[in-house]
Every structure is written in structure tokens, then in C-alpha cells.
Amino acid sequence: MTMQKDAGVSVEAMIEDLRTLVEVESPSRDVESLAASAKAVAGIIEHRLGGHAVLVESEAGPHVHWSGGGEPKVLLLGHHDTVFPLGTLDRRPFTVADGRVTGPGVFDMLGGIVQAVHGLATLADRSGVEILITADEEVGSRSSRALLEERALACGAVLVLEGAADGGGLKTGRKGCGAFQVSIAGRASHAGLEPTAGINALVEAAHQVLDITAIGRPEAGTTVTPTVASAGTLENVVPAEATVVVDVRVESAEERARVESAFAALAPHLPGARISVEGSITRPPMPESAAAGLFAVARRLLPGIEGRAVGGGSDGNFTAALGVPTLDGLGAVGGGAHADHEYVLIEAMAERAGLVAGLVATLQNA
């Protein structure tokens, strides 16, 4: 079975629904804004699919849950929080031009939500289908993880609505990811009068950055990247404190354990300096085996579509780690996630809506 390219959806209607979501800005951790965004998501789901979308309150903001009734068989999983601060829309308004839709959050991942809802709307039977759109994916999914894992286990299959891989491919594997903060405590002193009386936390941080970078094993798919550092107060004071924040990506559980052990074993170089480490690899790797069966279905529906393992994490990491079949990257085709040039290709919107619908129909009848 293959799918029809237009899938019976209206691209114009999808664009208008996407405009509605983008113009309700939804930065992570802004609970008031996320409450408004959740209501907008729920409104679109109810308008297009009927039924009632439940707002699940949390400390991070409301998650949106909808069910088509019947025995759960497939979970459509996404998030409505974005990385852009309030006011981004003033500088970069929602725009449709030259075959692209642009605006904060269009690709990551409001476009995927809209496409999935419109694709599902083409199915007369929506039983067994659940939609969960969370409010905190961009900041670690701490408040939503238990809920999304519960619904993934109940449904038995997960379609993740994150943006497509480069070239429109599906995401069949993801690295595990997390962050660490290394804090250094030294001792302040006058940089001119008594420079040696202090313990320079900035110098110690420089040593730690080199030690941290050496933990990486690119040949094993492990990247360990210092990304943020801070130290010092004034130019004439030996710094007493410093911090280094590190992004970590791993492909295997073995590398996850090794990296976490290596961070725990970091030791100071300067006499008297003290080191403390916080953090972990919070998203486990998503192995390609988790997507194999669903990807085979996608290839039958859309011959020639590619699958790719990528470095970024998503909530699909959590569901795949539970052993639930998970296929990611089913959202918008475009690019520029988290960047000012973020965009969605209009010509691919109907096809992606149809792909989601085809996958759902196949799982309903499995």
C-alpha cells in the first residue's frame, strides 16, 4: 500500500492552524505563555478531530492529551514548548513566502503537530489513537516523562512528531544526551598584592575543560562538549569560583556508564581547589532497532524515504528505552531548528500529513 500525496488535506488550512500556534508564543518555563499555547493546541485538536482534549496541569505548564477512544494502539507524541523568548515574534513574525513558512517554532515542532492533526482528520476511524503534546520537552521533560512513558506503554507504538532529518528523512535512531555542570571552588585574593595567596578557580577550570574534553570518544559516537563557562568578579581579584557546563551525547548504554563515571572521577589540579559535579545523561540512547518495524511500514507507504540516526535527543529516547516501537522525525520537512532561519517547506506538508495517517491506519489494523 502506498499513500496519496495530497492525503485529502488542505494545505491552506494547515498553514492557518500553524499561524495560530506560532502567534501564541510558548517559551519553555514560561508557564503563563504555555497555558495559552496549550489551549490553542487543544482548540485545534478539538476543531479538527472532535472529542475533548484534556489539559494535564504540571509545574512546567499544561500538557495536552486527546484520545480517539477504544483500545489504545498508537501514541502521537510532540511538544508545544519552544526555545525562543517572548518577543521573538515581533522580530521574526509568522511569514509565508517563497514556498516556506517561517516563524519561531514552525519546524521545532509546531508544524509537526498541525500536520499530524490534519492527517488524522482524514481517517473516519480514530479509535485506538492518542495524542500527547507536552510542555517541557525542550528543557528535559521532567514533568512529562512519567505521563508520556505511561501512555507509550499503554499504546504499544509511538510516532514522534519532531521535524524531519535533513532531506526529509525519518529519524530511526538518536543519541542519548544530557548535561553536566562542573563547579570549582578556589580562594579569592588581590591579583596585584597577593596573587599567589589565592587559589585561581579560572585556572583550575581551564585544566578541567581539557580533562572534560578528553572524555569524548568520537570514534564511538560519544561527544563531550564544554558549552558555557563563567568565572571571576573583577579584573583585580583572583577568581574564587568558576563553573563549566558540558553537553554530552552517547550512542550506547556502555558509553553512558563510562562517561558518567569519568565525570564523577574528575579531580582538581591546583592544591586546595575543590570540584563538584552535577548532572547525568538523562535521555537514554534510542537504538535503531526500536524504529525498524515502523520504518518498514513507512517505506511501504512512501517508497524511497530515508531513515537516519541523529545526534539530537527527543522524547522518543524515553519511549524507545522502554522497548516500545518508536519512529521519530515524522513532523515538518524543513530546517533551522532553534535558529533564526527556521523554516517549513510547504510542498511537503500534505505528504507528511498523509504519512502519519497511513502509519496510524496500519497500526489500527495490526
Strands 326-327 and 158-160, bridge-based pairing: parallel
pLDDT digits (tens, 9 = 90+) for 217-231: 999 999 999 999 999
3 belongs to a structural domain: no
Helix (H) / strand (E) element for 313: namely none
Q: How far apart are CA 288 and CA 296, in angstroms?
A: 12
Q: Verify that 235 and 345 share a domain, yes or no.
A: no
75 belongs to a structural domain: yes
Span 21-37, average pLDDT: 98
Q: Please identify, among 230, 250, 283, the residue that sits at the C-terminal boundary of a domain.
A: 283
Q: Please identify, among 283, 303, 336, the residue that sits at the C-terminal boundary of a domain.
A: 283
Is 90 known to be catalytic? no
CB 66 within 8 A of CB 356: no
Confidence of residue 8 (pLDDT cuts 50, 70, 90): confident
Is 340 known to be catalytic? no
Q: How far apart are CA 127 and CA 73, in angstroms?
A: 8
Q: Verify that 152 and 132 share a domain, yes or no.
A: yes
Q: Verify that 278 and 297 share a domain, yes or no.
A: no
Q: Please identify, among 234, 250, 283, the residue that sits at the C-terminal boundary of a domain.
A: 283
- Catalytic site residue from 30, 81, 162, 342: 81
Taking only Cα atoms into account, the Rg of the chain, rounded to an integer number of angstroms, comes to 23
327 belongs to a structural domain: yes
Residue 73, domain CATH? 3.40.630.10
Q: Verify that 47 and 150 share a domain, yes or no.
A: yes
pLDDT digits (tens, 9 = 90+) for 295-308: 999 999 999 999 99
CA atoms within 13 A on the CB side of 123: 25
Q: Verify that 58 and 199 share a domain, yes or no.
A: no
208 belongs to a structural domain: yes
Q: Verify that 249 and 313 share a domain, yes or no.
A: no
Q: Verify that 79 and 133 share a domain, yes or no.
A: yes
360 belongs to a structural domain: yes
Q: Verify that 37 and 121 share a domain, yes or no.
A: yes
Q: Verify that 138 and 89 share a domain, yes or no.
A: yes
CA 260 to chain centre: 22
Q: Verify that 42 and 104 share a domain, yes or no.
A: yes
What's the domain count of the chain? 2
Beta bridge partners of 159: 76, 327
Q: Write down the pLDDT at residue 4.
A: 56
- Catalytic site residue from 17, 25, 108, 137: 137
Residue 248, domain CATH? 3.30.70.360
Q: Verify that 115 and 150 share a domain, yes or no.
A: yes
- pLDDT at residue 7 is higher than 80: no
For 287, which DSSP code? -
CB 85 within 8 A of CB 96: no
Q: How far apart are CA 252 and CA 240, in angstroms?
A: 37
Beta bridge partners of 242: 184, 231
- pLDDT at residue 92 is higher than 60: yes
255 belongs to a structural domain: yes
Confidence of residue 6 (pLDDT cuts 50, 70, 90): low
Domain extent, residue 109, equals: 11-174+286-364
Q: Verify that 337 and 225 share a domain, yes or no.
A: no
Q: How far apart are CA 304 and CA 282, in angstroms?
A: 34
Task: Name 183's Cβ contacts closer than 8 Å, sequence gap at least 6.
Answer: 241, 242, 243, 275, 276, 277, 278
